[in-house]
Amino acid sequence: MSDPAWWRGAVIYQIYPRSFFDTGGDGVGDLPGIIEKLDYVASLGVDAIWISPFFKSPMADFGYDIADYREVDPLFGSMADFDRLLAKAHALGLKVMIDQVLSHTSNAHAWFRESREDRTNPKADWYVWADARADGTPPNNWMSLFGGIAWRWEPRRGQYYLHNFLAAQPDLNFHNPDVRAATLANLRFWLDKGVDAFRLDAINFCFHDAQLRDNPPKPVEQRVGRGFSPDNPYAFQYHWYNNTQPENLGFLEDVRRLTDEYPGTATLGEISSEDSLATTAEYTRAGRLHMGYSFELLVDDFSAGYIRRTIETLETKVVDGWPCWAVSNHDVERAASRWGGAEPAPDFVKLLAALLGSLRGSVCLYQGEELGLPEANVPFEALQDPYGVAFWPNFKGRDGCRTPMPWTDGDDAGFSAGKPWLPVPAAHRARAVARQEADADSPLNAFRHFLRWRKTQAALVLGDIRFLDADEPVLMFTRTHDGETVLAAFNLGGDPISVPAPQTLHLTQTDCPGPRNGRIEAGRMVLPAYALIYARVSA
């Protein structure tokens, strides 16, 4: 991990602080809780942790609405706690990545409180303000991702302000050089403290179209969203003008120049655009972001064909960039349920981790994935997510993937001495860390075995990728690095299957600890349900 390019092929473990471990007894996880559980995280064999926002915030969007970029919210602890967390993580060999939400702030941020007062104050142009149309309606047709129009009237100024997300999250005006300079200064603050990487939330939303042109309508058959309600009017438009503007490329280059002053640091951009793969390729060109993170594998389609098309499409677009893949996070239904059904099989859960760890790129794993946690069914009366409350019952929001981490199988799941901020379902307590650590064949122990083995396989960590033809539900590809080639084949289905082994390759099977292994015999690859085969390729 002393390698300045440690991020290439790294496995990054996402921690959602509210739900990881509570030491204060208020039912909400905190930074001391992360510190207490860092030994567990290190035992998984991951390379880094990504900590979702813990900054001062009114929590309208649970920390993604920042009121002060340089202060820890008391709900999570103190700056001294963060310093202790950073020191312990580094002592354990873990890099620390923190979320940075640059495109917008909370409406409680001092910048916005000043900006909204009138049109002449020093911060007057720090946010996206626009006059009403002649009839009083908003300046254009842009929609908020959380539903409804993306403009909110501010009577102090007699203008609308833009909010691509909640109305409590006003968008900053990145056309203003003072905003860009202040943003870079905030990043430098955390680099000076010793963080190793930034995960840049909604990074393609920093700039808007300065002409405020209307977004064009999208045909009904193309209104397929990722992570938002199917009846959300956000899906009714092509989002050509409210995000992903060409001016953003110059800002990304500014960010890269800053991080280059701190050798060994890295940036990971969250990218959601009309063509996220093309944007990822563009944003990860030399001199811009180190890695790109898109939503392409956070969808319902779990076919071998879809996964192959997605990765091959990115590979054809990327020039010198590096992808980062995820199948779960704090915004979407957990992959164990989304792809594995209501009762995901243990072998399926084990296969997912191995598949993700075998693709070209780095990996983001969301807390609880190592346990195979399914999506929680949170009743309406317990919902906390304003997105879910607004779109109930067609869309239940994001609470189902945010429930507290189950450490034990007790009523409180070992998470808190108080009432957890979201309920912990029985299905999660049955998959608790304590239970799985006592079971040698558990998904948790399989996860550890696989990641430990993966570190010894340079081709899987750093190699190029080339897909081989195979019928559904088999996904097959090779990874090649420094003259070594490894073939990987995955049965994504719940039934056993036998397929011909590639006749042009001389294969020597290499069993992988953790997931279920198939076998190569008589020129065929025999794959039980949710099994895989790794084989070395020789001339």
Catalytic residues: 201, 261
Q: How far is CA 210 from the centre of its chain?
A: 29
Q: Is 71 within 8 Å of 56 (Cβ atoms)?
A: yes
Number of Cβ within 10 Å of residue 226's Cβ equals: 15
Q: Is 451 within 8 Å of 46 (Cβ atoms)?
A: yes
Q: Is 410 within 8 Å of 426 (Cβ atoms)?
A: no
Kindly state the tokens that stand for 330: 């704090």
CA-wise closest residue to 11 among 19, 20, 1: 1
Euclidean distance between CA atoms 282 and 270, whole angstroms: 13
Q: Is 43 within 8 Å of 81 (Cβ atoms)?
A: no
Distance set, CA 392 to CA 31, 295, 330, 384, 464 (Å): 32, 23, 18, 12, 44
Q: Which residues contact 114 (CB under 8 A, 6 or more apart)?
A: 121, 122, 123
Q: Is 163 within 8 Å of 152 (Cβ atoms)?
A: yes
Distance set, CA 61 to CA 98, 205, 254, 386, 523 (Å): 17, 17, 28, 8, 54
